[in-house]
Amino acid sequence: MANWPRHVVMIAGGVGGARMAEGLTRALPEGALSVIANIGDDEEFYGLRVCPDIDTLIYTLSDRIDRKQGWGVADDTVKALDILATLGAPAWMKLGDADFGLHIWRSWRLAAGDGLTEITREAARRLGARAAVLPASDDRLRTKLLTQEGWMDFQPWFVGRRCEPPVRALRYDGADSAAASPAALAAIAAADLIVFAPSNPLLSIEPILAIAGLRQAIATAHVPRIGVSPLIGGKAVKGPLARMMTGLGLGTSAAGVAERYHGLIDGFVLDAADAHESEALLARGLSVLATDILMRDPADAQRLGAELLAWASHGRKRKAAS
Ligand code: FO1
């Protein structure tokens, strides 16, 4: 089974998803990975469409990413943003000059009538991404957050207000009418392994699962489906997940994250620090891998990717033998 898996699909948000995707590409043959990306964070700035999770995936998978930030282009400058600020435009979203190039090109293509899937596929190819990046839908879908100030758009809350005020509820506007990207559905149909990235389930994964066609395709896929925890010792590796989960009464356990994917996963990877939660997951019928899931650098991500693949492959062989 050395040639298994031939095709892996990853469901992912931005930074954590991109790191894991990079690790998997290093552990897989070329062309084996397709990443279905969250579009709930997308926003318009100055009339341009910005797709942070798609772009973080493309920049990471093409080695252009600013590794310290986890988003944006390495060594980028902000001359355009400085002019915008001088002209009195809001400039709280740090869009770099090189990054602007991608937003201008994408918006130009959208205005010409091309779809986001086609545009993203071409951007990934031209910029040298080592995996296919597939938006969950060509239609608009917006994550909205209910706070004491009412419903807020994602980027003004996440970047503009640094994740304040606390979130009381979420909704994914447009998810009911958004059509699943045919390319994403085709990737799931061709996959022999599906991986949920260690992304924020509420902000990154569930907007994708809110598109009925995608949830249904994953729920009915007859291949191993593996979740990876975004929490270590009850804390998020990056971002507001732990505080959000606490605020929403969901707790901050890895098992709590696995529960969000009920009916969609067969196995779960959690950190060795959370190994005590394994029993609860096994009792729910899930296979469990407890290991070091912190991805400090691409070498860590590659080790985690290879470990996940070996474990999923053994699980598959065990299942076939029983
Ligand atoms: N995150 C920040 O915390 N501050 C920023 O100014 C910022 C700018 C930015 C520009 C382009 C881009 O693709 C991502 C950017 N991000 C920024 C990250 C982004 O807001 C988040 O990573 C995601 O939307 C959450 O997954």
Check pocket membership of 53 for ligand 1, CB cut-off 6 A.
yes
The two tokens of residue 190 are: 């061709």
Each residue's pLDDT tens digit, 279-311? 999 999 999 999 999 999 999 999 999 999 999
HSE value, Cβ hemisphere, 13 Å, CA-based, for 312: 26
Query: pLDDT tens digits for 208-225?
Result: 999 999 999 999 999 999
Site to substitute for ligand 1 among 81, 159, 205, most atoms within 8 A of C-beta: 159
Confidence of residue 1 (pLDDT cuts 50, 70, 90): very low
Please work out whether the CB of residue 227 comes within 6 Å of at least one atom of ligand 1: no
Task: Look at ligand 1, atom 14, and give the residue with the nearest C-alpha.
Answer: 52
pLDDT value of position 251: 87
Q: In the CATH hierarchy, which fold is given to the domain comprising 8-68+99-313?
A: Rossmann fold (3.40.50)
As a whole number of angstroms, the distance between CA 277 and CA 232 comes to: 12
Q: Is the peptide bond before 5 cis (omega within 30 degrees of 0)?
A: yes
Render pLDDT for 71-86 as a digit per residue (tens, 0 to 9): 999 999 999 999 999 9
Q: Give the residue extent of every domain in the chain.
A: 8-68+99-313
- The residue that leads in pLDDT, 279 or 320, is 279
The burial of 154, by beta-carbon neighbours within 10 Å (0-12 exposed, 13-18 middle, 19 or more buried), is given as buried
CA 14 – ligand 1 centroid, Å? 9
3-14: burial string, b at 16+ Cβ within 10 Å, e else? eebebbbbbbbb
Q: Is 76 in the pocket of ligand 1 (CB under 6 A)?
A: no
pLDDT at 166 over 50: yes
Q: How far is the CA of 52 from the centre of ligand 1 (A)?
A: 6
| Count of CB atoms situated within 10 Å of the CB of 231 | 26
Query: Cα–Cα distance between 26 and 217 in angstroms, integer?
Result: 27
* SS3 (DSSP) at 273: helix
Q: Which of 55, 93, 204 gets mutated to test ligand 1 (max ligand atoms within 8 A of its CB)?
A: 93
Mean pLDDT computed over 111-125: 98
CB neighbour burial string for 186-207, b if at least 16 within 10 angstroms, e if fewer: ebbeebbbbbbbbbbbbbbbbb
Mean pLDDT of the chain: 96
72 lines ligand 1 (CB under 6 A): yes
